[in-house]
Structure 1
Amino acid sequence: MDRWLKTGSVKRKAEETSNVSDEVNIESQGRPSLQQDLAQHSGTSCAKVKRKYHSDYIKFGFFWTGDAEDPKPHCVLCYDILANEAMKPAKLKRHLETKHKDYICKPVAFFERKCEELERHMRKEATHFFVPGENAKATEASYKVSLLIAKAGKPHSIGETLVKPAAKVMANIILGEKASDELTLSNDTVQRRITSMAENVQDQLVTRLRQSHLFSLQLDESTDIGNEAILLCFVRYIHAGAVVDDFLFCQSLPTNTTGEAIFESLNTFIVQNNIDWKRCVGVCTDGAAAMTAKHKGLVARVRAVAPSAASTHCCIHREQLASL
């Protein structure tokens, strides 16, 4: 009897379990499964978050640039542009502490002034390249082609005699005749484009020099193929926590390349671009008297305005003297 009751109860439980499972299967039809719900939820949570700029971030030396919906932090000290994911106080502070240690204790007003300088610089660049009334895309294409001509060292006239006719043929075939009439690559236009790009590069270099606490110069006098004396000047400075070497300028000199004439050419460039002479800590030259003379040489004159500047004899000139 007990055995029969136990057997009967087991059967009833099995039937109830079967009925419950059938109900579950019926209810589950027509709606996503639990795994599908989890997959959809995880897909929603993994969507990329666009971080917004907050005015408090200026205390870390950062403004923003780019699209307002996807802003990117823009450092007002080194002009570096970071990804949108870096728009966090901790990451912006780490950038300031690792790359600009000397500016950690600066007040907010200092960074606001730097921000204004950055905005003026960006507006200047925008108006420097694009002239109102010109086709923006055609102007951009003209600049890029002019840059290629300059890098290749070709005559400026090649833009009008070869590049533009070839571009018109390709544009007529691919885009139509109207598109080929926008591009301007005359001799004067190419020269003007190259000059404006050179001025822009110089402005960027001068801006970096003004921001660098220290810099050093390397100078040499040479003669070009026209037998004209020229002064070549290179600069080494600190930018974004790294030591950078750049070509500073190339200028003509009078026939008598004395220490006074060389210093006058160098000093004119430094003064006109508002670069602080006191930040100059080194001058590298050859051993010529015009450069190293004790009283009237270039080094002596530089030390008069930059007392901390150390003189270095160029190692390449030393090797040449040793080989003679």
Structure 2
Amino acid sequence: MADPSKKKCRQYSTEYLSYGFIPAPQNETKPMCLICMDVLSNYSMKPSKLKIPLEKKHIGKKDKTVEYFKKLGDDFQKRKTVCQLFDNKAGKPHNIGETVILPGVSAIISSVMKQNAIEITNSIPVSNSSVSRRIDEMVEDVKKQFIAHLEVKQFALQLDESTLRDNEAILLAYVRFNNEGPKEEMLFARSLTTDTKGETIFKEVATYFQENNIPLKNIIACATDGSPSMTGRYKGFIAYLKKSIPEVYCIHCVINRQHLVAKELCARLHDALSVVIKVVNHIKSNSLRDRLFREFCKQNGEEFERLVLHTEVRWLSKGNCLKRFIAFWDSIVSFLVDTQLGAKLLENKCDVFYLSDIFEKLNSLNKQLRGNDSDLISKPNIKKLVENHQPQGSH
């Protein structure tokens, strides 16, 4: 039986900088990526593990030299030093001006300028309400500038309707327009209090545009998912939008298309995925079995202790579930030894590993398609990946 207290702890080596990693500021036994600032586990501090982010997640940085990563590390240290200089020793938000800023200003005025600090500090408006009001004014000013651009410029609209955990329906809208280069901003997030029909969604969008004096005709393109409420021929959002703007160009979101493709599995792969789901539910549905499995993983020196459930709503869910399942493979097989479920799992081993690889590729592709300044024109490597993963006959 392995002793968890004697788990091997790897030490950082300067050679790891060539992979874009430095010791994490919070815990120097863990590596931190200089590109995305993700902190990995100590187990990942192997050259073979550290290569994975550059090969899969940050493909564009794969051929960068050590000098490039050294410069990133120097820039990070400078930012860290600046943050330490302005660190709040009181442990309070900086909008609490009376307890954080004024005592320091008062001490400087009294000791350096030899003046009456009380009269001067009393005339400085740094109360909670003053700081909050100024933040609100800055936010309102930024919003006005943003709306002013949309009033006179053409732009593309992207809509996404989703349901939160408490059954609250929310509508998210993003716009992309040209302002000395491509710009992408979030337009609004509104709750749908009743239904999520196409007419209701269109009314929410039209109401927002009317309230902010943005002409609907400025929309030249619109991207949505493939749900009937969005793309329905007669009562979908797109149908109502085309009645107002006949020339608008509408497209099915590329990421959503990849997610739909991932749902369509052949019978053999579907059976293998069903076995994985049954194993996860078998372990996690029973509290005693779940605790025993966690202890078993500790004894085996596993990096994690819990399996991950998946949900159809979350588009990265299946890939994450399978990735964690494969990481636990040896422990799961040993835990379910001499059981019917364990035997089925071994029968489908090749298919389960194949599914894990496929969903990992799909998740990597979808992550590259997300984020600011991501498009198929400026990133030909993403366009090639989309074409390779695109099913025949899809539009």
Taking structure 2 as the reference length, the TM-score comes to 0.38
Larger RCO (CA within 8 A; separation ≥ 6): 2
More strand by share: 1
When Rg is computed on C-alpha atoms for both structures, the one with the higher figure is 1
Taking structure 1 as the reference length, the TM-score comes to 0.46
